[in-house]
Amino acid sequence: MITSFSNKSVREIVQLNQKARARNKAGMFVVEGVKMFQEAPEERIVRVYIAQRADRGLREVYGKKLDRVSCEVVADEVFDRMSDTKTPQGVLTLVRQYQYRLQELLAGKLYILLEDIQDPGNLGTIFRTAEAVGADGIIMSSHTVDIYNPKTIRSTMGSIYRVPFFYTEDICDTIRVLQNNEIHVYAAELNGEKFYDEYDYRGGTAFLVGNEGNGLREETAACADARISIPMEGNVESLNAATASTVLFYEAYRQRRRS
């Protein structure tokens, strides 16, 4: 049992939770909670840490999986230091990062491109929605929040394990790659040329959504095939980035279900 706050594994988990640089250098990230452990692919699990108070209960339910992976029990007060949440569920899983290449994502027909999304909850929700509609990938600008941020991870509710993603240094160059692969790109803006439901999304489609506060940069929006908007009533200035992404995704999903 790990009982010391200065234990190497304890310090490693704390660093991985707090610093993107540490996560990238190690090529690993931390997921917390029973659901995230349950859904984690065994071949990507590096190690599992269980709080002493939760050991018996977890082994009764997940004993077979725990027997197949490296696992350590941690004294409760030390586990609480390792945890990133106020009310830890008693299990932390150290997982190898995913590394996708852009070419791996291009075999599909439905994508979303995100420029400088900053809120971890927004990004996590977009991942969940992408999985729900069967999207083929998420492409993010290099200044988008880190997908391996603990808050983002929790918001994905497991979709991080199943939805391919790619960070790009040049989003306009990536848009051109998509267009060369017969994928039409639609930029979501407040004053689009047409409303979002006036286009046909049954072919190759990628929606382009911008930063929560500033929207898309003009040079990015100009790279798209068309500019679209979501109609709104009242005094609402704009929709949350995750909400806008959901509206667009489900219009494409609706059209494809009927085709």
Q: Is 3 part of any domain?
A: no
Strands 194-195 and 226-229: parallel
Computed over every residue of the chain, the mean pLDDT equals 96
Residues 88 and 182 in one domain: no
From 96, 116, 142, give the residue that closes a domain: 96
Residues 82 and 116 in one domain: no
Residues 81 and 191 in one domain: no
Sequence-distant (≥ 6) Cβ neighbours of residue 117 within 8 angstroms:
123, 126, 140, 144, 145, 209, 211, 212, 241
The DSSP code for 231 is -
With CA atoms as reference, report the closest residue to 227 among 256, 253, 199, 203: 199
Residues 119 and 87 in one domain: no
Q: Is 214 part of any domain?
A: yes
Q: Whole-model pTM above 0.85?
A: yes
With CA atoms as reference, report the closest residue to 111 among 173, 159, 172, 175: 175
Range of the domain at 127: 102-258
The DSSP code for 182 is T
**pLDDT tens profile 15-53:** 999 999 999 999 999 999 999 999 999 999 999 999 999
What band does 259 get if pLDDT is binned at 50, 70 and 90?
A: confident
DSSP assignment of 31-97: EESHHHHHHS-GGGEEEEEEEGGGHHHHHHHHHHHHHTS-EEEE-HHHHHHH-SSSS--SEEEEEEP
**pLDDT tens profile 45-99:** 999 999 999 999 999 999 999 999 999 999 999 999 999 998 999 999 999 999 9
**pLDDT tens profile 122-164:** 999 999 999 999 999 999 999 999 999 999 999 999 999 999 9
Q: How far apart are CA 246 and CA 146, in angstroms?
A: 20
- Is the Cβ–Cβ distance between 239 and 232 less than 8 Å? yes
CATH number of the CATH domain containing 34: 3.30.1330.30
> What distance lies between CA 207 and its chain's CA centroid?
16
